[in-house]
Structure 1
Amino acid sequence: MKEQLQARFFDEVAIDFGHYWAVIKRNLFYVVVFALVMSGVAVWAAKQLTPMYLSTVSILVESKAASPVSVEEIYGFDASKKEYMKTQFEILRSRKIAEKTVRRMELHNNPIFMPESSTPSLMSQVRGWVSEVTGGAETPSARLSEEEINNAKVKATAAKLLSSVAIVLVKDTQIMELSVSSPSAELSSQIANTMADVYVENYFQEKVEMTTKATNFLTESISGLRTKLDKAEQKLSSFYEENQVVNIDGVTGLAGDRLSQLNSQLMTAQHELEANRAIYERTRQQVDRETMYSLPAILNHPAIQRTRDEELKAVRKVSELEKTYGPKHPVMVAAQAELIAIRGALESQVDELLSSIGTQYQSALERVSKLQTEVQVAEENYRRLTGLETTRSALQREVSVNQQLYDSFFSRLQETSEIMDFESSNARILDVAEVPAFPSKPNKPLIVIATFIASFGLGVVVALGLDMSNSTVRTPEDVERKLGQRMLGILPLIKGNKLALRTYFDGSNHQFSESIRTLRSSLSLLNIERQNKCIIVTSTLPQEGKSTVATNLAFALGQIEETLIIDADLRRPSIAKLFGLPKYQPGLSNLIMATHSLDECVVKDEESGLHVISAGTVPDHAQELLDSEAFANCIKALKSKYKYVVLDSAPSQSVADSLVASKVCDSVIYVVKAHDTSENLVSNGISRFLRIGSRVDGVVLNQVNVKKYSKYDSYAGYYDEYEYGKS
């Protein structure tokens, strides 16, 4: 059982393309009919559509148009940027271009482009625009002027024109293709060419307007700049007159040099003053003459040094003469007199030098004071000149800036004025729109073919969807694919009244008879190596044909061996009624309860030779009887007497009688009514038998529409379609 469940799981996971193909073939007729019907509808609808003609004009957009001066720079528009082509694309499909085209061609009054049938929608748009303009809902008293109505028509027509226009930027080029679709071939080409002309002219008009605005702007700016320049020049001139300076840069330079020289002289004089002050203050101190002689200023004086040298010579001479002459010797007297004279001269020189030191100190002091005064005056003069230079520089800069601005704007004004007489455009028409010979849409053959393909595909999807949503068991393929069980046989659907008991022997229903024989052969071949004496026949629900299968299988087995059929459905027995037995006829329940003997319970059908045991007296405890040892002994005894024992049991979904009875049987045949019972119920019913260990030989599919499925599926071996089994 585990292997069977696993096999069913993997079969469900795998995609069975063969099954889907069989479903498509089975429903192919209906799918084709549906597709043909929808194609016919598409043919009718295509004939109702208005043919539309498409005309295309090519426009070459130049990123740099011929121009003597780039006026766009005034407004910050750069045609060299890569966004330029996108900008032109948006301009071409703008409402402004569309409205200009509508007004030029009067498309709002053209009956072809704006037919009378579109009047209600146009008026509704007019009312909407009026409501927007008035800021509220339209009132009954509202009255529209002719101009307002005309403008509303133009706007509505422009909106329709934009919906009929397709613009394409040709990749890696500066070419735009403008395509217009309309009901008229001539009108399509006229609209395309006119719209292209409007776009080209619009650039020139915009450029002229831009130039005019630029000229006005430059003129106003130049007037203001001229006034500012005159004022700046007047200020500079007044500055020169008031300060009486011509070359203020040179004067300031000289003043700076003079101040630098005076500062240098002042520093030198201050150093000399400091030196003289030190000598002067030392000479004023109370010191002896010898100490005075040792002062550097006196000691290092050239005259003092010469006199001192003479004094040293005189002293040396006196010292040498003392060794030879006496004090009073004329030579000695003369030498002494010379020494005295030299020392006297030295003192005189020292006194004069001391007197000159005081004079030099006073002179140095006066010089420093004078230089300080001159430096102060020079600094004040330099600061004044520097201030004047700063003021003059500011005034000069103001004049220069205003002059540059004035010159620049004046030059641009002259250049802009020249553009007024220079006509140029950034675009030109490369290929004009030709009158199309054939409509571009609707493509009627394509519509019909597409409708057929789509309808066919939809039909296939619906067929597959219905097949997937149908959970019943319909074909032998479903038995193997959905239930994972062996297909023992199929019984064809026989229309008309209820199937007669002896239909198996009726030569007019040879297909049914052959199906029963096929079931018998399948069962015999399946159990060729084992004895299969006791066979129980059951189903999931009532009215699936289990009693029919059990009875006719018993007829078929009875043709080759002695066979007994038992009505094991003790709750709703049917065998006795089928064979015309009386209700009081003892049967299985009486045999189990030992109220009657076997001979009393067995009835032989004289026409077929089949032995029959009915249900007998209907008990209150049917399941207990079937689960009893007496029932098992009874079946055992019957198996020893008959070659085949066929039990017609109760449906497995309703009660568990068939499960209990299957324990003493050799095999189970499960009957399923085609297109009726859910696969889940059938699977659950079969699984219950497998779980208790009963042997399920396979499934018999009952009431199959053989004629319907024989065109698409192979049923070889299940029935004789060509009457070769007919006797």
Structure 2
Amino acid sequence: MSLVTGTNQFHENELLAYWNIIQRRKWVVLTVLVATVTIAAISGFKAPYVYRATAQLLIEKESNVSSYREGVAVDISGMDYYQTQYKIIKSRSIAKRVIEELGPALNAGNRTANGDSVNSFLGSIIIEPIRGSRLVNISAESFSPELAVRMANTLSDVYVKQNLENRLFASREILKKLPADISLASLSNKDVMESLPSVVSNSLIQDLKAELIKYESEYANLSQRYKEKHPSMQTLQAKINLLKERIGTEMRNTVESIKTELSGEYKSNNVRIVDYAEVPKNPVRPQRKRNIIIAFVLGLSLGAGLAFLVEYLDNTFKSGSDIEQYLDVPFLGIVPIVKEKGENNMFVLDGVKSPQGEAVKTIRTNLIFSAAEGKLKTILVTSCVPGEGKTFSSMNIAASFSQAGKKTLLVDTDLRRSSLTKCMKMDIGNGLSNYLIGEADCDNITRETEVKNLYFISSGLHSPDPAELLGSQRMKEFVAQVSAKFDRVIFDSAPVLPVSDTLNIANLMDGVVMVVYSGKLSRAMVNMGKQKLQGVKAKVVGALLNYVNVKARGYHGYSYYSYSYNEYY
């Protein structure tokens, strides 16, 4: 039971991760979706309606072939015959005849500017054999429904006539094969009839003649013994007369068939029109509603695919699992997006519980358990580049410790671009730089804040060489002094990559906390900052992920924050 439950939970988490990606990349999905539907709608409404008219033909196989068609008959027993007929229907010769009959109306109705009217016409013809039958649909497409009907019907008529002409052509070929001394009128002569190849090759006539010879031979033998009126003689004579009559009838039938073909009166056709085309009521394309629906589904699929591709190519940090996997340091927690900070930058001190405040308390707890008691008094908070929220995080971490009853000191060690003093709403006055150059002692620069148990030291006046001051012996003495006087000391420092100031003091701290802005810097750049800290033997105790959009549930792996605060508070 536990195995099944675990499997179901895995699939649920996997689906949730996919949904998180879609939500995080929703603008990619929406952009592709809107673009696809818009293109489909514009192209659909700009394209003119096309109508299709369909006529139906029956093409039969020829079963009887005149014996005179030797050398001109074609084997039509297989499917090759039908494929040949379909090609003939779409041949250029038939197309030209149809175009001649339709006249200028063809180009006007199809609005074609192409000079090759034959190819244009053939491009609008569709041949569709009906499977399992000898029927074939001949369809014609046009911008005009009336012209589509004329095209389909005219093509059908022309093909039927062409097929009949081809059969008459075979009759003319037969006439050429007759001996020069035999004319059409002389075919009724008995001697001529018996010399015709169709008669000579007729198996029935030849069998009858063989039987006639047999009876005549018997009659000659009996005539030597009996007279003509003898019953045996009369019986044989009756048989002989009957055979002669049958032979004569078969010969006349064969000759009549030949005379009909040779006279051009052979009108039998194995192709006929079953149904003429009718005026279509609805166009076949564009099917605007269907196209928009297809475009919507396609756009949604492409958008989702592009969203997954962008997510795959995105090598920034977006979750705690990314921190642990790619930065290889403990993950301390997240700081959700704060859309409106208001007048108080220390939201952890807000009277009303908030997701942001609870998140900072979680970070505080993880920091406490990251080292033994009393082993993590001085904490340096830094980031790789400006704008990642290290100052904001330093203030709230310090306030969180003070709220827990710890005597906490917040020190602004960014001597180049101090922003912490402004966020604390204090004047710069004497600060760390004044201490480092010997103008003030530690007690003179330490100030109380409005927050209980929280003290503050500003950066002081800007120094022309901050790196030298922070790397001096006075800085080491300062760290030792404040560490002895306070339970926790939080140092807000300069970014690691642009300047070396932070590297001069990082190894003096009990621990360093890296602030990583969610979805901003590449993994390679953040790892470069971590390597610089480790290069000076700094103790990186963990990293926190700042500016996380938990409401969009794009923070997979720690989805608790996306709903639990609303539920409990």
Work out whether residues 22 and 713 of structure 1, in 8 Å CA contact, stay in contact via their aligned partners in 2. Answer: no
Work out whether residues 480 and 487 of structure 1, in 8 Å CA contact, stay in contact via their aligned partners in 2. Answer: no
TM-score, reference length from structure 2: 0.68
Give the whole-Å Cα distance in 2 for the aligned partners of 1:584 and 1:482.
Answer: 42
Per the alignment, residue 435 of structure 2 pairs with 590
Give the whole-Å Cα distance in 2 for the aligned partners of 1:690 and 1:646.
Answer: 19
In 2 relative to 1, CA 491–184 (structure 1 residues): closer, same or farther, beyond 3 Å?
Answer: closer
In 2 relative to 1, CA 93–582 (structure 1 residues): closer, same or farther, beyond 3 Å?
Answer: closer
In 2 relative to 1, CA 202–610 (structure 1 residues): closer, same or farther, beyond 3 Å?
Answer: same
Per the alignment, residue 441 of structure 1 pairs with 284
How far has the Cα of 1:508 moved from its partner?
A: 7.8
Give the whole-Å Cα distance in 2 for the aligned partners of 1:491 and 1:588.
Answer: 33
Give the whole-Å Cα distance in 2 for the aligned partners of 1:480 and 1:56.
Answer: 71
Match of 2:92 among 92, 95, 112: 95
Q: Residue 199 of structure 1 aligns to a residue in which SS? A: helix
Give the whole-Å Cα distance in 1 for the aligned partners of 2:126 and 2:88.
Answer: 13
What does 1:416-431 align with in structure 2 at a 5 Å threshold?
418-421=261-264, 423=266, 427-429=270-272, 431=274
Work out whether residues 52 and 439 of structure 1, in 8 Å CA contact, stay in contact via their aligned partners in 2. Answer: yes
Give the whole-Å Cα distance in 1 for the aligned partners of 2:304 and 2:514.
Answer: 33
What does 1:146-185 align with in structure 2 at a 5 Å threshold?
156=117, 158-169=118-129, 176-182=136-142
Match of 1:108 among 89, 98, 103: 103
In 2 relative to 1, CA 83–716 (structure 1 residues): closer, same or farther, beyond 3 Å?
Answer: closer
Per the alignment, residue 363 of structure 2 pairs with 519
Larger radius of gyration: 1
Work out whether residues 567 and 648 of structure 1, in 8 Å CA contact, stay in contact via their aligned partners in 2. Answer: yes
1:541-573 CA-to-partner distances (Å, cap 9, x unmatched) read 123221222122212212221112222223334
In 2 relative to 1, CA 622–29 (structure 1 residues): closer, same or farther, beyond 3 Å?
Answer: closer
The residue type paired with residue 108 of structure 1 is G
Per the alignment, residue 538 of structure 1 pairs with 382
Work out whether residues 211 and 416 of structure 1, in 8 Å CA contact, stay in contact via their aligned partners in 2. Answer: no
Work out whether residues 55 and 156 of structure 2, in 8 Å CA contact, stay in contact via their aligned partners in 1. Answer: no
Per the alignment, residue 507 of structure 2 pairs with 663
In 2 relative to 1, CA 166–554 (structure 1 residues): closer, same or farther, beyond 3 Å?
Answer: same
Give the whole-Å Cα distance in 2 for the aligned partners of 1:91 and 1:33.
Answer: 50
In 2 relative to 1, CA 530–210 (structure 1 residues): closer, same or farther, beyond 3 Å?
Answer: farther
Work out whether residues 58 and 431 of structure 1, in 8 Å CA contact, stay in contact via their aligned partners in 2. Answer: yes
How far has the Cα of 1:199 moved from its partner?
A: 1.9
Match of 1:570 among 409, 415, 423: 415
Work out whether residues 20 and 553 of structure 2, in 8 Å CA contact, stay in contact via their aligned partners in 1. Answer: no
What does 1:248-287 align with in structure 2 at a 5 Å threshold?
none
- Identity of counterpart residues, as a percentage? 24
Q: Residue 126 of structure 2 aligns to a residue in which SS? A: strand
How far has the Cα of 1:651 moved from its partner?
A: 0.3
Per the alignment, residue 488 of structure 1 pairs with 333
Per the alignment, residue 51 of structure 2 pairs with 52
Per the alignment, residue 554 of structure 1 pairs with 398
Per the alignment, residue 528 of structure 2 pairs with 684
Q: Residue 560 of structure 2 aligns to a residue in which SS? A: coil
Work out whether residues 623 and 656 of structure 1, in 8 Å CA contact, stay in contact via their aligned partners in 2. Answer: yes
Per the alignment, residue 296 of structure 2 pairs with 452
Q: Residue 272 of structure 2 aligns to a residue in which SS? A: strand
In 2 relative to 1, CA 580–160 (structure 1 residues): closer, same or farther, beyond 3 Å?
Answer: closer
In 2 relative to 1, CA 481–73 (structure 1 residues): closer, same or farther, beyond 3 Å?
Answer: farther
Work out whether residues 53 and 184 of structure 1, in 8 Å CA contact, stay in contact via their aligned partners in 2. Answer: no
How far has the Cα of 1:46 moved from its partner?
A: 5.1
1:192-250 CA-to-partner distances (Å, cap 9, x unmatched) read 45433422321221332354356458678999xxxxxxxxxxxxxxxxxxxxxxxxxxx
Give the whole-Å Cα distance in 2 for the aligned partners of 1:719 and 1:204.
Answer: 82
What does 1:283-298 align with in structure 2 at a 5 Å threshold?
none
Work out whether residues 163 and 271 of structure 2, in 8 Å CA contact, stay in contact via their aligned partners in 1. Answer: no
In 2 relative to 1, CA 689–101 (structure 1 residues): closer, same or farther, beyond 3 Å?
Answer: same
Work out whether residues 53 and 152 of structure 2, in 8 Å CA contact, stay in contact via their aligned partners in 1. Answer: no
Per the alignment, residue 22 of structure 1 pairs with 20
In 2 relative to 1, CA 221–616 (structure 1 residues): closer, same or farther, beyond 3 Å?
Answer: farther
The residue type paired with residue 364 of structure 2 is R
Give the whole-Å Cα distance in 1 for the aligned partners of 2:159 and 2:83.
Answer: 14
The residue type paired with residue 461 of structure 1 is G
How far has the Cα of 1:463 moved from its partner?
A: 3.5
The residue type paired with residue 301 of structure 2 is G
What does 1:203-222 align with in structure 2 at a 5 Å threshold?
203-212=163-172, 215-216=175-176
TM-score, reference length from structure 1: 0.55
Give the whole-Å Cα distance in 2 for the aligned partners of 1:418 and 1:513.
Answer: 105
Match of 2:156 among 193, 196, 208: 196
How far has the Cα of 1:644 moved from its partner?
A: 0.7
Work out whether residues 534 and 665 of structure 1, in 8 Å CA contact, stay in contact via their aligned partners in 2. Answer: yes
How far has the Cα of 1:648 moved from its partner?
A: 1.1
Work out whether residues 566 and 588 of structure 1, in 8 Å CA contact, stay in contact via their aligned partners in 2. Answer: no
What does 1:465-484 align with in structure 2 at a 5 Å threshold?
465-468=309-312, 472-473=316-317, 479=323, 483=327
Q: Residue 429 of structure 1 aligns to a residue in which SS? A: strand
Per the alignment, residue 486 of structure 2 pairs with 642
Per the alignment, residue 212 of structure 2 pairs with none
The residue type paired with residue 402 of structure 2 is G
Per the alignment, residue 400 of structure 1 pairs with none
Work out whether residues 510 and 723 of structure 1, in 8 Å CA contact, stay in contact via their aligned partners in 2. Answer: no
Work out whether residues 319 and 556 of structure 2, in 8 Å CA contact, stay in contact via their aligned partners in 1. Answer: no
Give the whole-Å Cα distance in 1 for the aligned partners of 2:99 and 2:63.
Answer: 28
How far has the Cα of 1:93 moved from its partner?
A: 0.8
Give the whole-Å Cα distance in 1 for the aligned partners of 2:394 and 2:512.
Answer: 11
Greater CA deviation, 570-579 or 716-725?
Answer: 716-725
How far has the Cα of 1:50 moved from its partner?
A: 2.0
1:124-162 CA-to-partner distances (Å, cap 9, x unmatched) read 62xxx7xxxxxxxxxxxxxxxxxxxxxxxxxx3x54432
Per the alignment, residue 454 of structure 2 pairs with 610
1:243-296 CA-to-partner distances (Å, cap 9, x unmatched) read xxxxxxxxxxxxxxxxxxxxxxxxxxxxxxxxxxxxxxxxxxxxxxxxxxxxxx
Answering whether residue 62 of structure 2 is matched by residue 67 of structure 1, we say no
The CA RMSD measured in Å over matched residues stands at 4.5
Per the alignment, residue 140 of structure 1 pairs with none
Q: Residue 86 of structure 1 aligns to a residue in which SS? A: helix
Q: Residue 446 of structure 1 aligns to a residue in which SS? A: helix
Work out whether residues 53 and 280 of structure 2, in 8 Å CA contact, stay in contact via their aligned partners in 1. Answer: no
1:382-401 CA-to-partner distances (Å, cap 9, x unmatched) read xxxxxxxxxxxxxxxxxxxx
Work out whether residues 489 and 515 of structure 1, in 8 Å CA contact, stay in contact via their aligned partners in 2. Answer: yes
Q: Residue 507 of structure 2 aligns to a residue in which SS? A: helix
In 2 relative to 1, CA 676–714 (structure 1 residues): closer, same or farther, beyond 3 Å?
Answer: same
Work out whether residues 586 and 616 of structure 1, in 8 Å CA contact, stay in contact via their aligned partners in 2. Answer: yes
1:64-117 CA-to-partner distances (Å, cap 9, x unmatched) read 45332353615x8555676444332221111222233344xx43354xx65468
Work out whether residues 626 and 661 of structure 1, in 8 Å CA contact, stay in contact via their aligned partners in 2. Answer: yes
Greater CA deviation, 652-661 or 479-488?
Answer: 479-488
Count residues with an aligned counterpart: 482
In 2 relative to 1, CA 102–659 (structure 1 residues): closer, same or farther, beyond 3 Å?
Answer: same
The residue type paired with residue 441 of structure 1 is V
Gaps of 5+ in 1: 1-14, 130-155, 224-411
Give the whole-Å Cα distance in 1 for the aligned partners of 2:16 and 2:562.
Answer: 20
Give the whole-Å Cα distance in 2 for the aligned partners of 1:434 and 1:117.
Answer: 18
In 2 relative to 1, CA 527–588 (structure 1 residues): closer, same or farther, beyond 3 Å?
Answer: farther
How far has the Cα of 1:17 moved from its partner?
A: 6.9
The residue type paired with residue 650 of structure 1 is A
In 2 relative to 1, CA 483–59 (structure 1 residues): closer, same or farther, beyond 3 Å?
Answer: farther
In 2 relative to 1, CA 214–555 (structure 1 residues): closer, same or farther, beyond 3 Å?
Answer: same
Give the whole-Å Cα distance in 2 for the aligned partners of 1:212 and 1:107.
Answer: 30
Work out whether residues 208 and 420 of structure 1, in 8 Å CA contact, stay in contact via their aligned partners in 2. Answer: no
Q: Residue 716 of structure 1 aligns to a residue in which SS? A: helix
How far has the Cα of 1:692 moved from its partner?
A: 5.1
Work out whether residues 503 and 509 of structure 1, in 8 Å CA contact, stay in contact via their aligned partners in 2. Answer: no
In 2 relative to 1, CA 505–164 (structure 1 residues): closer, same or farther, beyond 3 Å?
Answer: same
How far has the Cα of 1:487 moved from its partner?
A: 4.7
Work out whether residues 512 and 539 of structure 2, in 8 Å CA contact, stay in contact via their aligned partners in 1. Answer: yes
